[in-house]
Amino acid sequence: ASQSYHEKCISGGYGDNDAPTPLFVQPPTPSFLRPNGATAINFIEGMKLEAIDPLNLSTICVATVMKVMRQNYLMIRIDSYESDNTGSDWFCYHATSPSIFPAGFCQINNIQLTPPKGYEGEFSWYNYLKTTKGTAAPPTLFHREVNSCQFESGMSLEAADLMDPRLVCVATVKAVHGRLLQVHFDGWEDEFDQWIDSQSSDIYPVGWCQMVSYKLEGPRVATEVSAASHRRKPKLRGGRKKRGGGCGTFLTASTDNSSTVGAATGAGTARR
Ligand code: MLY
């Protein structure tokens, strides 16, 4: 009983109240490690890639594999951050995550890639890897294939605002790149957009909220207050900075389909 958590993990023993390991879904085996997989290489520390910034889901950034852990979990650094090299701002992604992409993904898909901190001029992977003597993670390591993604830009949907996931909002597919969707929240600035996988469980068909009796956040409609806040150009979002510019009014789509305008301002927006 006096075993420390660390000792317990090492000995692999269960405490009486611990959920036993077999109850958990095992992380997927990356295809490159399956028998007959295309290649035997895995991610290696230092490899460069592109990744959705988990603290600012509207951006895809140059990133680095900082650590390869057991079961193919990767610690990833977002290179546009001011890093203190302590690892405090690394993120854990599984090697099969749909939120990481091979170098060149953004260029091929005409997406603005956020360059590393301090990078001057237009970003070029070729020059960057050459000058830094870096290596890009081979494209075969990434899980980009998907049976079929039939989303099209312009389609309406309901999507969780993953920076405030209790908010499920009226949204529109802005772009589709293979299995990756760019979701725009109706009435909100583009900086609130989210890159999200088409197989994510955080997006729903129109009518979902009504079906499950959950409040749907309607499109934000401009008010005088929100027009003023708009001029104040809100700061970039992200968990590291306080989100700003949230003044506005939700057009609240209630479950009986009659729309009511719910006024809300500032940080209290849509608080229920
Ligand atoms: N006022 C909050 C909430 C913003 C929610 C935006 N979503 C619905 C797209 C803020 O600005 O952080």
The model's pLDDT over 200-243, given as tens digits with 9 standing for 90+, comes to: 999 999 999 999 999 999 999 877 555 555 544 444 555 444 34
Q: Residue 110 pLDDT more than 70?
A: yes
How far apart CA 43 and CA 48 sit, in angstroms, is: 10
The model's pLDDT over 118-161, given as tens digits with 9 standing for 90+, comes to: 999 999 999 999 999 999 999 989 987 777 889 999 999 999 99
Rounded to the nearest angstrom, the distance between the alpha carbon of 244 and the centre of ligand 1 is: 8
Name the residue among 54, 56, 58, 60 with its Cα closest to residue 193: 58
State whether the beta carbon of 238 lies less than 6 angstroms from ligand 1: no
- From the CB of residue 203, how many other CB atoms can be counted at a distance below 10 Å? 21
Global pTM reads: 0.79
Q: Residue 171 pLDDT more than 50?
A: yes
- The complex's ipTM works out to 0.93
Beta strand 113-114 with 56-68 is: parallel
| Percent of the chain residues past pLDDT 90, beyond the cut | 59
For ligand 1, pick from 229, 243, 249 the residue to mutate: most ligand atoms within 8 Å of CB. 243
The model's pLDDT over 249-259, given as tens digits with 9 standing for 90+, comes to: 455 444 333 33
State whether the beta carbon of 246 lies less than 6 angstroms from ligand 1: yes
